Each structure stands twice: as structure tokens, then as C-alpha cells.
């Protein structure tokens, strides 16, 4: 990309908040929605993929995601565990970074017997110092039945805590995407400690990204 092109991308990417958390249920369209946020705001992006091809179903889902990211826009890095280091190395003002998804990353940590508290602390540290906009995708896992197994219940609880802690980070923008044209949005005013809530369609007050990132998403 030319120097002038990089400058344009840098200016465009400033329309994204420092950290955006996109929450939604399974198969709700949240990954595609998060991709559209970055695609509408800049000219290039980095995709940090946390999924591992553990079975045929996951292999198929990974292949579908890769096919959607064909072309020169996305630079993909596969990092099932090392999300914090990828953010630290790859975040840039002219190349927003998408992590898809935090929930799979958490599952990978638990299965690898990693210390979740240590890893999430590292994640928060790099998010605060990231050199460019970060978009994080996560599942809302707490609205269904109580998991039957101790590991399942721990996973649900850890996922809920992780989403809450990111949402309460200063300058974080939380977008609840539930496969609907209506969004529930919670935004933290920088430095004020105050939280503002909207539930509306279209372009929320204070959001300077694409007017309607929901458009053209398959329903």
C-alpha cells in the first residue's frame, strides 16, 4: 500500500473505538457482523482466529470462515492460546485487529490446563496498550440451561466473568448482536465511570462507525 493509502486507512480506522466487544449467541451472525465493522472502517485488517480443527464439524466451520475472508483485506493469524501476544505484536492504527473468538480461546485455555486468571490478566494489559483498534467476538453462554458437568459450569462462569471484565474496561464499546436489526448497546464514557445504555436500531448516538453494519448480513 502506498504511503498516501496508509494515511487514508489510518484516518478511517479511527472511527472504531479502542476496544469493541461483540456479544451474541451461537450462529447469530456475530462473526460476520464484527468483520463488517472493520471492513466498513478501514482498508485492511488482521484476523486472530482461535478455533482448532478438533473434529469434522469444526474443520467445516473453519473452512467456511476462511472462504469468507478470501482476498487481500484480511491477514489471518491462527492463535488458539496466544491471543495476548498477537494483539501486542499485530495491533496497528491502520490495521484493526479482530479476535474470533474469546469464548473458544477460553475453552482452549481450560483444556490446556492454563491459568485462566493469569492469561486474562495478560489480555487486559495488552488491550489497554494496544496500538490500534481491537474488535473482540464472544459468545453469550449464560442464557441457557445450567451445564451438567463441573467443567461445563466452570466454563460458563469463566466466560461470563471474562465478558463482564472486558465490558467494564475504560473506553470499551459493547455491542450485543442477537441476529436482529435492534441492538442493545452499553458504552462507557472515557474517564467518567458512567455507563450509557441504548436499545435502538440504526446508528447509536456516539458511535462513529458504519451507519448500519447490519445491512446485507444473511438472516
Residues serving a catalytic function are 65
The dihedral built from the CA positions of residue 176, 72, 216 and 41, taken in this order, carries a sign that is: positive
- For residue 90, what are the contacts with CB-CB under 8 A and spacing of at least 6? 46, 48, 75, 77, 97
Task: Tally Cβ neighbours within 10 Å of residue 61.
Answer: 15
- For residue 52, what are the contacts with CB-CB under 8 A and spacing of at least 6? 58, 80, 104, 108
Closest CA to 39 of 63, 62, 11, 69: 69
Closest CA to 208 of 90, 3, 37, 21: 37
Q: Is the peptide bond before 101 cis (omega within 30 degrees of 0)?
A: yes
How many degrees, rounded to 5, is the angle at CA 47 between CA 128 and CA 219? 110
**DSSP-derived secondary structure for 13-71:** HTTS-SEEEEEE-TTSSHHHHHHHHHHHH-S-EEEEE-----SHHHHHHHHHHHHHT-S
**What is the rounded distance in angstroms from the CA atom of residue 80 to the CA atom of residue 85?**
11
Amino acid at each position: 500500500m502506498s504511503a498516501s493509502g496508509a494515511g487514508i486507512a489510518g484516518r478511517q480506522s479511527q472511527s472504531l473505538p479502542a476496544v469493541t466487544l461483540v456479544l451474541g449467541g451461537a450462529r447469530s451472525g456475530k462473526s460476520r457482523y464484527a468483520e463488517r465493522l472493520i471492513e466498513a472502517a478501514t482498508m485492511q485488517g488482521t484476523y486472530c482466529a482461535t478455533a482448532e480443527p478438533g473434529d469434522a464439524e469444526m474443520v467445516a466451520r473453519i473452512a467456511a470462515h476462511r472462504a469468507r475472508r478470501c482476498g487481500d483485506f484480511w491477514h489471518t493469524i491462527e492463535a488458539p492460546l496466544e491471543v495476548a501476544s498477537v494483539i501486542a505484536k499485530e495491533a496497528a492504527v491502520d490495521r484493526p485487529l479482530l479476535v474470533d473468538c474469546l469464548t473458544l480461546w477460553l475453552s482452549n485455555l481450560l483444556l490446556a490446563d492454563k491459568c485462566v486468571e493469569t492469561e486474562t490478566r495478560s489480555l487486559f494489559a495488552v488491550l489497554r496498550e494496544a496500538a490500534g483498534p481491537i474488535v473482540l467476538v464472544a459468545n453469550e453462554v449464560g442464557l441457557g440451561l445450567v451445564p451438567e458437568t463441573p467443567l461445563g459450569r466452570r466454563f460458563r462462569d469463566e466466560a461470563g466473568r471474562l465478558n463482564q471484565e472486558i465490558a467494564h474496561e475504560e473506553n470499551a464499546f459493547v455491542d450485543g448482536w442477537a441476529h436482529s436489526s435492534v441492538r442493545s448497546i452499553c458504552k462507557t464514557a472515557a474517564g467518567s465511570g458512567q455507563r450509557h445504555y441504548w436499545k435502538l436500531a440504526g446508528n447509536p448516538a456516539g458511535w462513529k462507525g458504519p451507519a448500519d453494519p447490519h445491512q446485507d448480513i444473511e438472516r
